[in-house]
């Protein structure tokens, strides 16, 4: 069963079920051993399907999942290995030194297995990083493969791919010219919250006392705690706009602090906004 509503809203609570099928453009043997550009091409062109199940653990997350709800939680993610890796990086968002969610750790492991099946992981390290603005205290990161041995020549290649968050650089530049650092911070914070909680889809999923509703409310509690925002009392009535406004206000304060700590101009900060992109660095050695 697939559901764009649940997939869009519950992206941070998806847990992979460890079934990975590489479907196209798969090399006969894993590539690597000093050919970073070849590995980058493989990641960008090889597609995989990852079957997973939303499996919140009531004992550790506080989410009360109705009995018999597991059939509603089966999902399939499909994309290039680079796209899946980008999603895995975003799933590991940290705010300061604290993870926003641990619920997709199995998804990250499943993506790592898919990549290890396509590249020579003993000769390759692949690192995906989502960092939405310069000196950000909010970031997501995943690494596949170990560090290269000492005294080995290392080759590198870089891929940029979509993070799934809105692209806000142009809006950030406009805000920098009119409102300075505060304008950039508001724009970035709004983009992050809209990416985590798309208003229309979240509103649909939040109502009705279903499994989806329980997960959405749990995610708001986690985000409110990490961002330092008061939890909206109207969320129980499906008022996600108020909940999002509270998150944006608290997050904007954090972003502004980060940007001022970086001691950069508003225009330079806006130029460095990369909310909509994940950078993947491939390092290979013989």
187 and 145 housed in the same domain: no
pLDDT band at 34, cuts 50/70/90?
low
102 and 180 housed in the same domain: no
247 and 140 housed in the same domain: no
Residue count (the chain): 286
Average pLDDT over residues 214-239: 88
Q: Using the predicted structure, report yes or no on whether residue 254 has a pLDDT greater than 70.
A: yes
CA dihedral 148, 149, 155, 157 (to 10 degrees): 0
Residue 172, token pair as written in the block: 């950030």
| Antiparallel, parallel or unpaired: β 98-99 and 155-162 | unpaired
pLDDT (tens digit per residue) in 166-196? 999 999 999 999 999 999 999 999 999 999 9
Domain count, the chain: 2
pLDDT band at 62, cuts 50/70/90?
very low
157 and 173 housed in the same domain: no
Q: Using the predicted structure, report yes or no on whether residue 48 has a pLDDT greater than 90.
A: yes
15 and 144 housed in the same domain: yes
180 and 120 housed in the same domain: no
Q: What is the pLDDT of residue 55?
A: 62
Q: Using the predicted structure, report yes or no on whether residue 10 has a pLDDT greater than 80.
A: no
Q: What is the pLDDT of residue 13?
A: 36
Percentage of the chain beyond pLDDT 70 is 80
Among 57-66, 77-86, 229-238, the least confident range: 57-66
Q: pTM for the whole thing?
A: 0.83
218 and 129 housed in the same domain: no
Spatial contact of 135 and 259, defined as CB atoms under 8 Å apart: yes
Residue 10 φ/ψ, nearest 5 degrees = -105, 30
pLDDT (tens digit per residue) in 131-175? 999 889 999 999 999 999 988 899 999 999 999 999 999 999 999
Average pLDDT over residues 55-59: 52
Choose from 7-21, 22-36, 166-180, 204-218 the range with maximum mean pLDDT: 166-180
- Cβ partners under 8 Å of residue 19, min gap 6: 50, 51, 52, 110
Percentage of the chain beyond pLDDT 90 is 55
189 and 248 housed in the same domain: yes
135 and 230 housed in the same domain: no
142 and 225 housed in the same domain: no
Determine the Cα–Cα distance for residues 224 and 211; give it in Å rounded to an integer.
20
Determine the Cα–Cα distance for residues 76 and 83; give it in Å rounded to an integer.
14
The percent of the chain in helix, strand and coil, each rounded to the nearest 5, is 50, 20, 30
Supply the mean pLDDT for the chain: 83
Range of the domain at 61: 4-166+275-284
Q: What is the pLDDT of residue 44?
A: 96
Average pLDDT over residues 47-71: 59
Spatial contact of 278 and 162, defined as CB atoms under 8 Å apart: yes
Residue 191, token pair as written in the block: 């983009």
Whole-Å CA distances, 140 to 43, 89, 228, 279: 19, 5, 19, 11
Q: Which residue in this structure is represented by tokens 């909206």? A: 232
28 and 121 housed in the same domain: yes
Spatial contact of 116 and 82, defined as CB atoms under 8 Å apart: no
133 and 220 housed in the same domain: no
Higher pLDDT, 279 or 55: 279
Q: Which residue in this structure is represented by tokens 């898919």? A: 114
pLDDT (tens digit per residue) in 67-116? 444 556 677 789 999 999 999 999 999 999 899 987 777 788 889 989 99
Cβ neighbour number for residue 96 with a 10 Å cutoff: 10
């Amino acid at each position: 069963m697939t559901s764009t509503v649940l997939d869009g809203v519950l992206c941070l609570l998806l847990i992979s079920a460890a079934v990975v099928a590489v479907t196209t453009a798969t090399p006969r043997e894993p590539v690597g051993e000093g050919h970073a550009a070849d590995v980058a091409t493989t990641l960008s062109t090889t597609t995989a399907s990852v079957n997973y199940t939303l499996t919140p653990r009531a004992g550790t997350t506080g989410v009360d999942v109705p009995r018999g709800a597991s059939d509603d939680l089966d999902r399939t993610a499909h994309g290039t290995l680079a796209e899946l890796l980008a999603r895995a990086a975003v799933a590991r968002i940290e705010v300061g030194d604290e993870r926003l969610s641990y619920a997709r750790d199995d998804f990250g492991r499943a993506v790592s297995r898919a990549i290890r099946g396509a590249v020579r992981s003993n000769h390759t390290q692949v690192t995906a990083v989502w960092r939405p603005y310069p000196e950000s205290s909010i970031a997501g990161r995943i690494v596949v493969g170990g560090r290269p041995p000492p005294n080995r020549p290392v080759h590198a290649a870089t891929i940029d791919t979509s993070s799934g968050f809105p692209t806000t650089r142009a809006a950030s530049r406009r805000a920098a010219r009119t409102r300075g650092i505060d304008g950039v911070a508001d724009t970035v914070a709004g983009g992050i919250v809209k990416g985590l909680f798309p208003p229309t889809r979240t509103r649909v999923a939040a109502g009705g006392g279903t499994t989806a509703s329980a997960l959405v409310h749990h995610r708001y509690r986690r985000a409110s705690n990490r961002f330092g925002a008061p939890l909206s009392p109207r969320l129980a009535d499906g008022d996600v706009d108020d909940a999002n406004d509270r998150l944006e206000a608290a997050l904007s304060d954090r972003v502004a602090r980060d940007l001022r700590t970086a001691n950069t101009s508003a225009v330079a900060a806006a130029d460095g906004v990369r909310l909509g992109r994940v950078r993947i660095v491939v390092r290979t050695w013989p």
